[in-house]
Structure 1
């Protein structure tokens, strides 16, 4: 197959490990293996005795049980574990999309959610835009229904949305699932930031509401354990999962045994890890809000209700990609411009989930002052 370059990964390949001030990262603060194992009595000793042979292709049965426990109505048989979220997305889309199909993707979105559709001959792709509503991002369900065609096979959504931060409410989740059910459309729901709500409303997993839905989860984002490279699909549609696992046979085959062990430890303490990420995001947003209030003539801040990312707007005439390039070249501050998402407009992504955000904001302010952007 021929597939387009993954723009975000190409961009991060240039700067993620060289720029000293990362102000755009979409994952939350990580921890050491020692810190994680300390959360569970006896885990360190058991980890050192972990067998390093092959694991089951579906994932460690005990891990699948723990993951299933995150949902309201799932069993281990409804969980398929992958080597990270990226593998799960790629496998699912390749299995589900065929020539002549049509898919819709919430947009902007993680590129792999829709790029496979672009690589399948005669497979059409439509964008369901998250739109700028001034102080926040908004979505239009009537527009979604207008995009549906007789051959629409899959709707791919991402909530909380990366990069905008838009998050469906539970009422909207029920409406979304009903639309998909009424039109017999599969729903691919990327929910890798679930559990980081800041508005007091705990969101449901979408796969608990609709049998034609698959929920994507991962250890990387909300849990801050990206180095484990463990993700999963959860769905009541076991027939679909049985097809997807056969695609995995041509990819990783199985996951890393140490990573699955550490994921089990982490998910047994899911609430504690999510609170850790949540509290850090809340504190960083407070600092960012002060920053944007001070520089309201330069930026239009967008509110977020869940997750660690926001998509703010640059208010000056300089193209946003040029502005972001200047920030990383002159001060080592990494931001992500809208062009990475093939999106027009003066938008850039900021991330609030890392401990380094306060220092990065200080350096960002120094960049503005030193380069004549302030009054």
Structure 2
């Protein structure tokens, strides 16, 4: 299989580790190893201190899977498989899809959610948002019009990257009804799960409410542990999960031993990781609202309910890519244009998860006033 370059990740590779400021990252500031271990109880510290770097169970060690299933209401240890999130996506697409299969994928989206499928020869219909003022809304009626008896797979992502949209409980149930009407498999990217700006915006994992759903979660976004490179999939479809683990033999084979222990600690003390990230996101978003109000002639933004990002409109003729290229060269601020999502040329992604957000806005404002 030949696959296109990952546009967004190649753009990050160009600037992420060489420029001074990042304002579009979807992850939050990373926690230190010292911070993680300070949250651990004696049993968890014993796991860490006695860690040996041998092979691990390809599905995930027992202690890890016990920590994972505690995040769900109706999932047991046989219904979770641990691996890197990208690996899970890659394996699932190869297992589930063949040439000419029809799928529906949310858009804009992280490229791997649809690119692997496209490279396998799948035919993709995109579920795109409706503009609501300066915000975005994914209408379930539009999804219903895209799905039919030939739909092999529906791919969704909530809280949504990059728009920050999350459905209501009622809308979530409608998505499940649409999928279940044709017994369609639902792959739910939930990497921003639990990052909600008010408690009432929280929704359950799709694997807890639909027997044909496969939910993906991990350490990178909600937990502020992107460098851990750790995640998992959860589903009642153990036949699919077992096929994923078999496919994994051609990829990583097993999980990294240190990551299993550190992930277990983070899961068992998740409030110590997720809650500070939510507060940081909310604080930075409030600062950004004031920034947009000062520059409403240039920027269009509507409040988000979840996740760590927003998709902000540029109200001028210059396309987003050219604007971002000029910005990074003149200020050292790396900003992601909507072209990296293959979604027009008039938006940029803003990330709210970094401690220096206000400082970076100040540098951006200086650029605006030039």
Please give the alpha-carbon distance, in whole angstroms, between the structure 1 residues aligned to 2:300 and 2:98.
41
Structure-1 residue corresponding to 2:339: 339
Structure-1 residue corresponding to 2:179: 180
Please give the alpha-carbon distance, in whole angstroms, between the structure 1 residues aligned to 2:299 and 2:163.
15
Residue deviations 1:143-195 (CA, integer Å, cap 9, x gap):
21221233210000000111111111111111101110011110000111111
| Equivalent residues of 2:148, 2:182 under 8 A apart | no
Structure-2 residue corresponding to 1:276: 276
- For residues 1-375 of structure 1, the aligned pairs below 5 Å read 1-42=1-42, 43-44=44-45, 46-82=47-83, 84-121=84-121, 123-201=122-200, 202-370=202-370
Structure-2 residue corresponding to 1:373: none
Q: How many Å apart are 1:46 and its aligned residue?
A: 4.0
Please give the alpha-carbon distance, in whole angstroms, between the structure 1 residues aligned to 2:287 and 2:251.
42
Please give the alpha-carbon distance, in whole angstroms, between the structure 2 residues aligned to 1:171 and 1:145.
15
Please give the alpha-carbon distance, in whole angstroms, between the structure 2 residues aligned to 1:125 and 1:319.
26
Please give the alpha-carbon distance, in whole angstroms, between the structure 1 residues aligned to 2:110 and 2:302.
19
| Equivalent residues of 1:102, 1:149 under 8 A apart | no
The 3-state SS of whatever aligns with 1:204 is coil
Please give the alpha-carbon distance, in whole angstroms, between the structure 2 residues aligned to 1:192 and 1:350.
17
Please give the alpha-carbon distance, in whole angstroms, between the structure 2 residues aligned to 1:162 and 1:241.
25
Deviates more, 1:101-110 or 1:139-148: 139-148
Residue deviations 1:285-334 (CA, integer Å, cap 9, x gap):
11111111111111001221011100000001111111111111100111
| Equivalent residues of 2:147, 2:178 under 8 A apart | no
Please give the alpha-carbon distance, in whole angstroms, between the structure 2 residues aligned to 1:61 and 1:81.
11
Q: How many Å apart are 1:142 and its aligned residue?
A: 1.9
Q: How many Å apart are 1:135 and its aligned residue?
A: 2.9
The 3-state SS of whatever aligns with 1:38 is helix
| Equivalent residues of 1:219, 1:263 under 8 A apart | yes
Q: How many Å apart are 1:45 and its aligned residue?
A: 5.5
The 3-state SS of whatever aligns with 2:369 is helix
* Runs of 5+ unmatched residues, structure 2: none
| Equivalent residues of 2:219, 2:230 under 8 A apart | yes
Q: CA RMSD in A?
A: 1.2
Q: What's the TM-score once normalised by structure 1's chain length? A: 0.96
* Runs of 5+ unmatched residues, structure 1: 371-375
Residue deviations 1:217-261 (CA, integer Å, cap 9, x gap):
010001000111111000011111111111111000001000110
Q: What's the TM-score once normalised by structure 2's chain length? A: 0.97
Please give the alpha-carbon distance, in whole angstroms, between the structure 2 residues aligned to 1:139 and 1:248.
33
Please give the alpha-carbon distance, in whole angstroms, between the structure 1 residues aligned to 2:113 and 2:45.
37
Q: How many Å apart are 1:131 and its aligned residue?
A: 2.8
Please give the alpha-carbon distance, in whole angstroms, between the structure 2 residues aligned to 1:167 and 1:20.
32
| Equivalent residues of 2:321, 2:345 under 8 A apart | no
Deviates more, 1:112-121 or 1:186-195: 112-121
Please give the alpha-carbon distance, in whole angstroms, between the structure 1 residues aligned to 2:5 and 2:148.
28
**After the TM superposition, which segments of 4 or more aligned residues of structure 1 sit over 3 Å from their partners?**
41-46
Please give the alpha-carbon distance, in whole angstroms, between the structure 2 residues aligned to 1:45 and 1:183.
48
